[in-house]
Structure 1
Amino acid sequence: MYKKERARPWAVLAAACVAQFVFALDMAVMNVALPAIRTALGFAPVGLSWVVHVYALAFGGFLLLGGRACDLYGRRRMFVLGLVVFGLCSLAGGLAQAPWQLVAARAGQGLGAAAAAPASLALLTTTFTEGRARVRALGVWSAMNAAGGALGVLAGGVLTEYAGWRWVMLVNLPFVALTLALVPAGVAAHTRTGPRERMDVPGAVLATAGFGLLVVGVVRTDAIGWTDPATFACLGAAAVLLAAFAAVESRVRAPLVRLGLLRNRWVAGANVIVFLAAAGQFAAFYFVSLYMQQVLGMGAAETGLAFLPFSAGVVLGTLLATRVAGNRSPRAALVPGSLLAAAGLAWFTRIDPDGGFLTDVLGPSVVCSLGIGLVLAPVAAAATTGVAAREAGTASGLLNSSRQLGGCVGLAVLATVAAHRTGDAASPAALNSGYALSLTVSAALFLVAALVALALPRRERSAPVPSAAAAENRLEGTPS
């Protein structure tokens, strides 16, 4: 059982938001800097892509393990440990002198993020347990997550152009320092007073290996294709390992992920929604960025600036979500948000080779981002509704895993769709056609998400998350 100190909500919210911002920033900030990195460190063309992929691999592959670890060993402890690892690896990457050093640093960043990201969401859901305050806190957290991803392209372009590529790694350090400074200001520690469950080692190995192979198989399709035997072998092995993981989890006493958690309609529905939404959002972000650079001829920094209205729209959408869903079921914002995002993406499909930012990008960016903002906070609330505090980390890791896998798989699949439509042609018109088709599929994914949201329970108000103390009184010896 845990003895919990008193938390200061403002400190918990600030620490969780800054951490999530920098983790999301790191998913996008490297892309624009890749040409400069290749020249500076002498990367081979194939190896260069792993500067991006290895972060997604480590982050996505270890999220379930990170979520369970923060349930077993304490949320604040894993939050701090993950941040320290992330910060040290950011410093190592900024000082890298050889390709392998940068790739290793990026892998370390992913591991640190996989430990700290589930802990940040778990800290929020166990500090803000119900009502409008909880939805508002999750809204701010979600807005920071989306803003980090949207501003990553801008930060990458500006830093690479004016400060040098090393600063796309070193820029993380002040964010990490700020977050660590906020922890003693009011992020509660948990002191164990009872026995600790053992880590589910077989489940951890199977889940990490299965998700890792899934990510590897998907991200390599840009180089070898979906029909290559190596792709089939990798994805087949991932399927076998994940099936074995499910079998193990149904039998062990203290599983990495209790399968009964997925019988909670809120948890299951929210994870499906976030998978679909991430697939559509990540792919749309990618193809709109390519449209502006390769079809409209905009520069990297200019493209980053063009995403500022998107970031502002997401923030506004999350603020609206706190009003819409504050005292209602999360579906009250999830359904209209998904439909609005689908409408914005459908508008994006009208991009034209002879268009421009004002005519083809600004309007749909605002509509789409408002819809995404309406989805982000309520889906995080839904994914932790009715979840005991002792499983908050597991539920958070599961949600983050679904988001990572959705973005990774969605982008890879829709890149194949775009390439199939474009063919070998490299003209602006051909590229425009491929991008428009993939944006159409992205819109369809949000329509499916709206249908899943409609299937969520109809309630006037979300069920509160049980407090840590209540959970521990019911189950002595189980961590909160």
Structure 2
Amino acid sequence: MSKNRKKGVALILLAVSQLILALDYTIVFVAVPSIGADLGFSANHLQWVISAYSLVFGGFLLIGGRLSDLLGRRRIFMIAIALFGVGSLLGGLANSQIMMITARGLQGLGGALLSPSTLSLIMSNFGEGAERNRAMGIWASMGGVGLSLGLLLGGGLTSFLGWEFTFFVNVPICLISLILAPLVLLENKTTSGPKRYDALGTISVTVGMILIVYYLIQSPVEGWLHIETLPFGLVGGILLILFVIIEKRTKEPLIPFRLFRNRNLIGAAIIAALFSASFGTLYYFLSLYTQEILHYSAIQSGLSFLPLTISAFIGGRLINKVLLNAGLAGTVAIGMVLGGIGFLVLTQLSEKGSALGIIPGTVIIGFGQALVFTTTFIAGSTGINSKEQGVASAIVSTGQQIGSAVGLAAIIAIVSYNLKSNLQLEKMNPGELNSAIHMSFIAASVITFLGVFITYSTLSRKMQ
């Protein structure tokens, strides 16, 4: 196999890995009611079909990044794909609630290892500059494709084959990836010096992150100061403070704190959080609009996201040109502004509208999504030593996970406060729900414009 063809197959492999991570985030949304009915989940426990994945994913990201740096990005990639595949297989075979939640946890663990190793492999397999930026653009655009494709695929598989196939669909992809990985991916790891593991730091940050993510997931349901949630947040915060103390005293820290002197990395993590808190909430609120107001089926609702998918893919292909002309900060700022404009356009949606009204706003958001998502990870890797790329990408991904958890809860709280209502959005009448969705889009737009300020305060103006 020629070098160029090998790189091409490697890019496809890494892009597909990003695709299944994004796909798995939304594909289960449509299947959850059927899973709940078949496995006997109560309304309160059903959310854990979603939350078990997010909890483990968010909790193990940092250790996943460190392991990929120390043990090798390709090796961790293969372990991650195997875990994800096993979790998917168990999910499809699940005949009990415990088995389903365990399967989702395994998928989350696979995702926590896969996310930083995949990005690090792009850094080590593609040369810095246009080649790497092109690879990053394709990799990132697969994230946007996966999010919207998941809703369509989830509806189709659940309707025609059963919810089990929303899990089984990942298994052949994982098997093919395991076969191709050693053939086309170059290994890259820290080879000099002793490989010491910061055990205390690892335990404190992992448990701390799990408790914090649990607090963020449960608080919107139980209450931010409720006795059943607040202790988890407090203990999680204490463990993270303990982690900082441990890291400052150990010779081989899990996260070298000098990384936090890199303004691009800090800016990228904050922007990733704001991105998820704004762009990431679109799928939830737009799905509510199409299914609860327009009364679309799951498949019709998924199809309404295709314009977004296409524009995100095209935006990913244009990333090199925009970066060359606008630089890091300029490219992210353009993407955030496009997102803000797109959300404002969507506030014109009517309760008697149609899918055609969705297209202008989602197309604009799709372009913005591609620019922000891709450039954020490029910025997070700028000026970082190659042996620490895994940890750096994990820091950015952690920001993304926290933004996702906090963003949706915060926007729903803002909407409820303004409507003077504690009603669940799904139980509102069409007029009330349409107003609530408009408010959510305004809140998301405000977050994107805040992102512009953060961008110019932290990121480099030019590519380095």
Tell me which interval the TM-score lies in, with the shorter structure as reference length. over 0.9
Q: Normalising by the residue count of structure 1, what TM-score does the alignment of the two structures yield?
A: 0.91
CA distance in 2, matches of 1:337, 1:6: 31
In the alignment, what sits opposite 2:407?
Answer: 410
- Give distance in 2, aligned partners of 1:87 and 1:458: 39
- CA separation in 1, counterparts of 2:242 and 2:85? 35
Match status 1:246 vs 2:248: no
Q: Is the 8 A contact 1:132 1:326 kept in 2?
A: no
Amino acid paired to 1:430:
E
Matched residues in 2 for 1:6 and 1:200: separation?
A: 39
1:343-395 residue CA offsets vs partner (Å, 9 max, x unmatched): 10122223322222212x11111111111111121111100001111101101
Other structure's SS at 1:30 match? helix
Partner SS state of residue 32, structure 2: helix
Amino acid at match of 1:431: L
* 2:23 corresponds to which of 19, 22, 25: 25
Q: CA deviation at 1:10?
A: 2.3
CA contact (8 A) 1:143 1:315 kept: yes
**Greater fraction helix:** 2
2:445 is matched by which residue type in structure 1?
A
Task: Kindly provide the amino acid, as one letter, of the partner of residue 368 in structure 2.
Answer: G
Which deviations, in whole Å up to 9, do the C-alpha atoms of 1:280-325 show, x marking residues without a partner?
1121221111111112211211101101111111111112222111
Determine if contact 1:281/1:407 at 8 Å carries over to the other structure: no
Q: Secondary structure at the match of 1:397?
A: helix
> How far off its partner does 1:9 sit?
2.7
Q: Which amino acid aligns with 2:147?
A: G
Amino acid at match of 2:413: T
1:373 and 2:375 aligned: no
Match of 1:169 in 2: 167
Secondary structure at the counterpart of residue 197 of structure 1 = coil
Matched length: 457
Report if aligned partners of 1:126, 1:392 keep a CA contact under 8 Å in 2: no
Pairing 1:432-451 to 2, within 5 Å after superposition: 432-451=434-453
Shift of 1:196: 3.1
Shift of 1:459: 4.7
8 Å CA contact 1:380, 1:399 repeated in 2: yes
Structure 1: 5+ residue stretches without partners: 464-480
CA distance in 2, matches of 1:370, 1:6: 28
Instruction: Report which stretch shifted further, 421-430 or 71-80.
Output: 421-430
Q: 1:175 to 1:326 in 2, by over 3 A?
A: farther
Asked whether 1:157 is paired with 2:159, we answer no
Range moving further from structure 2, 211-220 or 195-204: 195-204
8 Å contact from structure 1 (residues 67, 396) kept in 2: yes
Deviation string 1:162-199 (CA, Å, 9 cap, x unpaired) is 11010011000122122223212221135886543211
Match of 1:392 among 371, 379, 389: 389
C-alpha separation between the residues in 1 aligned to 2:335 and 2:109? 32
Q: Is the 8 A contact 2:32 2:46 kept in 1?
A: yes
2:59 maps to which residue?
Answer: 61
**Matching of residues 271-420 of structure 1 within 5 Å:** 271-326=269-324, 329-359=327-357, 361-420=358-417
Instruction: Measure how far apart 1:249 and its partner are.
Output: 1.8
Partner of 1:431: 433
How far residue 12 of structure 1 moved from its aligned partner, in angstroms, is 2.9
Aligned counterpart, 1:84: 82
Q: Tell me which amino acid in the other structure corresponds to 2:176.
A: L
- Residues 206-227 of structure 1: per-residue CA shift (max 9 Å, x gap): 1111211111111113431334
Q: What's the TM-score, normalizing by structure 2?
A: 0.94
The percentage of aligned residue pairs carrying the same residue is 33
Q: Is 1:122 aligned to residue 143 of structure 2?
A: no
**CA 1:194–1:318 in structure 2 vs 1: closer, same or farther (change >3 Å)?**
closer
Does the 8 A contact of 2:70 with 2:190 survive in 1?
no
- Please give the residue correspondences for 1:153-232 in structure 2 after superposition, counting only pairs within 5 Å: 153-190=151-188, 195-232=193-230
User: For residue 201 of structure 2, what is the amino acid of its counterpart?
Assistant: G
Indicate the SS of the match to 2:336.
Answer: helix
Q: Quick one: distance in 2 between partners of 1:11 and 1:327?
A: 29
Q: 1:181 to 1:150 in 2, by over 3 A?
A: same
Give secondary structure in 2 for the equivalent of 1:455.
helix
Match of 2:106 in 1: 108
Range that drifts further, 227-236 or 429-438: 227-236
Question: What SS does structure 1 have at the residue aligned with 2:249?
Answer: coil
Q: 1:190 to 1:392 in 2, by over 3 A?
A: closer
Q: Per the alignment, in what secondary structure is the counterpart of residue 330 of structure 1?
A: helix
**Shift in Å at residue 457 of structure 1?**
4.9
Q: Could you report, residue by residue, the CA deviation over 1:423-459 in whole angstroms, capped at 9, with x for unpaired residues? A: 4372111111222212111111111111122124545
Q: For the Cα contact (< 8 Å) 1:341–1:368, is it kept in 2?
A: yes
8 A Cα contact 1:7 1:127, kept in partner: no
Q: Which amino acid aligns with 2:434?
A: N
* Contact 2:58/2:398 (8 A) holds in 1: yes
Task: Indicate if the aligned counterparts of 2:31 and 2:158 stay in contact, CA closer than 8 A.
Answer: yes
Q: How far apart are the structure 2 equivalents of 1:207 and 1:412?
A: 23
Q: Secondary structure at the match of 2:402?
A: helix
- Check the 8 A contact 2:379/2:459 in 1, yes or no: no
Q: Residue 339 of structure 2 contacts residue 365 of structure 2 at CA under 8 Å; is this kept in 1?
A: yes
Q: How many Å separate the matches in 1 of 2:75 and 2:278? A: 34
Q: Distance in 2 between matches of 1:140 and 1:104?
A: 32
Q: Unmatched 5+ residue regions in structure 2?
A: none
The CA RMSD over aligned residues, in Å, is 2.0
Distance 1:407 1:8 in 2: 35
Whole-angstrom CA distance in 2 between matches of 1:91 and 1:381: 33
1:469-480 equivalences under 5 Å are none
Q: Which amino acid aligns with 1:265?
A: R
Is the partner of 1:206 in helix, strand or coil? helix
Alpha-carbon contact 2:69-2:389 (below 8 Å) kept: yes
Aligned with 1:230: secondary structure? coil
Letter in 1 for 2:95: Q
Summarize deviations over 1:89-123 as a string: whole Å, max 9, x none.
11111111111101101101111111121100001
2: CA distance between counterparts of 1:237 and 1:103?
24
8 Å CA contact 2:266, 2:458 repeated in 1 = no
Q: Is the 8 A contact 2:64 2:112 kept in 1?
A: yes
Distance 2:431 2:54 in 1: 32
Does 2:265 match 1:267?
yes
Which residue does 1:43 correspond to in 2? 41
